[in-house]
Amino acid sequence: MTARWPLPTIAFGGDYNPEQWDRSVWREDVALMQRAGVTLVTVGVFAWSRIEPEPDRFELDWLREVLDLLHDGGIAVDLATPTASPPPWLGAMHPETLPVTADGVRLTWGSRNQFSPSSPIYRARALAVTRAVAQAFADHPAVVMWHVGNELGQVDHSDVAAHAFRDWLTQRYGGVEALNRSWATDVWSQGYRSLAEVQPPRAAPYHRNPAQALDFRRFTSDELRSLYREQRAVIREHDARRPVTTNLMGFFALADYATWADDLDVVADDAYPDPADPRALTDAALTQDLMRSLRGGQPWLLMESATSGVGWRAHDLTKSPARSRLESLQAVAHGADAVCFFQWRQARSGPERFHSAMLPTAGPDTAVHAGVRRLGADLARLAPVVGTRSSAQVALLWDWPSWWAARGEAMPTDRLDPLETLRAWHRPLWDARVAVDVVGPPADLGGYRAVLAPALHLIDDIVAAHLRAYVAAGGTLVLGPFTGVVDPSTHLHRGRTPALLGDVLGAGVQEHVPLPDGGVTARWRDSALGTEEVRVHDFTGHADALDPLTEVLLALGPADDLPGLEHLAGSAVVTRRRQETGGTTGAGTAWLVTGVLPDVDLAAVLHRALADAGVEPFLPGAPAGVEVTRRGDALFVLNHTAAEVHLEIAQLALALDLDPATATLTDLLTARRFTTTDTPVALAPQGVLVPMETR
C-alpha cells in the first residue's frame, strides 16, 4: 500500500448512491452506517446526469451536502469520477460517442457503459465533469481517495476506434511494411498499402487474422488505460496527495491489468464468487493472490462484493451471512485492506433492484444486515494486519496476451481455456496450503523455489531467457500444455515446442493433439507418482524426450490402447530434466506436462515437483478444506468445510515461527488466548480464526 493510504483499520463499506434517494433518507443512512461500523463509502460512480444535467451546467450542492453529512458521521469517502455512465444528452447530441459492435451495431443509451473509449468528444466531456468534481472537492475533509470511472472494460469497433487503432499501430510498428511483416499479411492476400486501410477486427466472411485480433486486444486495453490516465491527471492538478485508483475485475479478459498496475496508487478489485460453484472460494483465493501480486505484494482493496445474491445470474443463489463473512475475511487473509460491497442501500428500482446490499429493502432488522454489523466489528479488530504483507515460495505465471492468443479463432481445440488451466493448477496448491504469487513474465523469479507456467502459450526470447536463467540458478520450472507455441505476433515457433526452452526441458512436442471424448490411456513410469492408469483428456502433445538427462514420468499407452492414434504410442505426457550442479544447462529442474490430466494425477505431479523444490505444505496437520495463510505476524485459518474442525495450538505456533513450548496466541476476532497446554481449538463450519502472538 502506498504511504498515502489514510485509514488505520481495514476499511469497511460500499458503494453509496444518494442521488437515487430522497434527501430525507440521507441522515438515516449515516446513522445506520455508524451502527454497522462503516468507515468508507464510494460516492458518485453513476451520478453524471445528476452532476451535469445538461452540458456545462454543473449541480454540486447536493453532493457537497452528502459529503458533509458523511464527514460529520466519521465516514470517509472514495470519490468517483462519474464517467462510466454518460447521460442521455451526450449520445443524443453526439452519436459518434456511442460504441459499435464487431457486427456494426451502434449501441445506445438507456443502460450504462454506452461510450467509445476512443471518442475525442466523450473524452472531452469526461474530463470536464472530472475537473468540475475535482475542483469542488479536492480539499473536502471527507475525501480520502479517488475512484476513476467504474469497471473499465468497454470495446468499440467504430470508425472513431479505427482511427485510434491506426495511431496505436503507428506507434507500435512505425509503418505499414513492419505491420505487414508482423501480421503476415501475405496469407490470404491481405497485404496493406497503408495503415489507412487497417480496420478493427470486424465481422468477416471467415476467420480473421490472429495477429490483428491480438493487437486489437492490446490496443483496447491501452485505450482504457489512457482513459484512466487522463482523468487521473486532471485529479492530480487539484490533489497531489490522495491515492487514485479504479476498480478492476479479477481475471478480466478485456484489459491487461499487469500493464495497468504502475498507474494505480492501490489495486482495487470487484469480486462476486458464485455460491453455486463448489470451487468458487479456491478460485477467489487465486484472484486475490493476483490482486496482491500486481503491485509486488502491496495490500489491495476489495472494492465491490455482494452480501447475498447479485441479481444478474440466471439462477441467482443467495448466500448466508456466514458465507459472506468467510469470503470477506478470506480477502483480508490474502492481502485486502478494505472490504466493501455493492451497495449500501438496496435499490428499489432499476436493473439492480434484486442485487443484495448491506441494507436490504426489508430494513436493518434482517439477517443480512445483522451479518453486516458483525463483519464491521470483526474488521475493526483486524487493525493490526493493515499494511502487512504475505510471502510465497511459488509463483504462478500469468500473461494476458498469452491468454488472448490462446483463445483466438482456428485453434486446435476450444476446450483448452488458459484461465481454467490456471485454476486447475492452483487448486492442488491451495489444497496443500502452499502460498503463491501470480506474476507476469518476465518477472524477477529469483525469490521463488518453484515457478509454474500452466498456460503460457505465447513466449518470446526475453521471457525464455528469464526462465532459462531461473533454472540455471537452481529453480524448479513446470510448464503446462500448449506452452511456448507462438511469438508476440502469434507466429508459430519453429521446431518442437516449446522451442525456445527445448534445451532446458530436453523434450519437445512435434504435434498438438486434441483427443476424442473419453480421452486416452497413459501409464506411469515412476511408481512414486502413481500406479493406476491415467485418462488424459481433451488435449495432449505428441512429445518425445530428446536428452539422456530427461526422464519420462508418464507416457501414453501402447498402440493397442490408442485406436486411430497408434502413432502416439509411448508419447511423453510428463517429463522431468534435472541437471547436476556444474552441468551445461544449470542446476535446476524443468518439468513439461503436455496433456490435460485428471485432478488427482495433476496434483500428484505438482506436489512431487514442489517437494523436489523444497516447498512444504503450510500447517500440514490441518484438515482438508481448511485454508491457512499468513499475513505479517497474523495467521488466518478459514474453515471451508461443513464440519467442525480441531486445530493443534502447537501447529499454529510453528506456522508463526514461534516456539510452541512458550508461545501464547490471541485470536484477533475474539480476543481469546491460547497456549500449547490448552486442548485443540475448535473451529466451526465457515468459521475463521486469526491467531497472533500475544504481546
Write out the catalytic residue numbers: 151, 304
Query: How many angstroms separate the Cα of 225 from the Cα of each of 260, 387, 471?
Result: 7, 26, 34
Cell numbers at 402, concatenated: 498469452
Neighbouring-strand partners of residue 673: 666
Let me know the angle formed at the C-alpha of 156 by 262 and 202, rounded to the nearest 5 degrees: 125
Classified as helix, coil or strand, 274 is coil
Closest CA to 109 of 132, 128, 90, 129: 90
Supply φ then ψ for residue 551, to 5 degrees: -100, 140
> Could you give the CA distance from residue 58 to residue 132 in angstroms, rounded to a whole number?
7
Residue 403's identity, in one-letter code, is W
Buried b (16+ CB within 10 A) or exposed e, 77-97: bbbbbbbbbbbeebbeebeeb
Classified as helix, coil or strand, 488 is coil
Closest CA to 224 of 194, 199, 256, 193: 256
Cell numbers at 694, concatenated: 500475544
**The 3-state secondary structure of 180-207, one letter per residue:** HHHHCCCHHHCCCCCHHHCCCCCCCCCC
Let me know the angle formed at the C-alpha of 43 by 40 and 48, rounded to the nearest 5 degrees: 170
Distance linking the first and last C-alpha atoms of the chain: 25
- Residues 6 or more apart in contact with residue 308 via CB below 8 angstroms: 318, 319, 324, 356, 368
Mutual angle of helices 280-294 and 418-431, in 10-degree steps: 100
Let me know the angle formed at the C-alpha of 465 by 463 and 467, rounded to the nearest 5 degrees: 70
- Residues 6 or more apart in contact with residue 511 via CB below 8 angstroms: 541, 542
Residue 214's identity, in one-letter code, is L
Cell numbers at 292, concatenated: 496482491
Supply φ then ψ for residue 659, to 5 degrees: -75, 115
> Could you give the CA distance from residue 103 to residue 101 in angstroms, rounded to a whole number?
5
Give the CA diameter of the chain.
81
Question: Sign of torsion, CA 389 267 334 605?
Answer: negative
HSE (side-chain half, CA atoms, 13 Å) at 291: 32
> Could you give the CA distance from residue 598 to residue 166 in angstroms, rounded to a whole number?
45
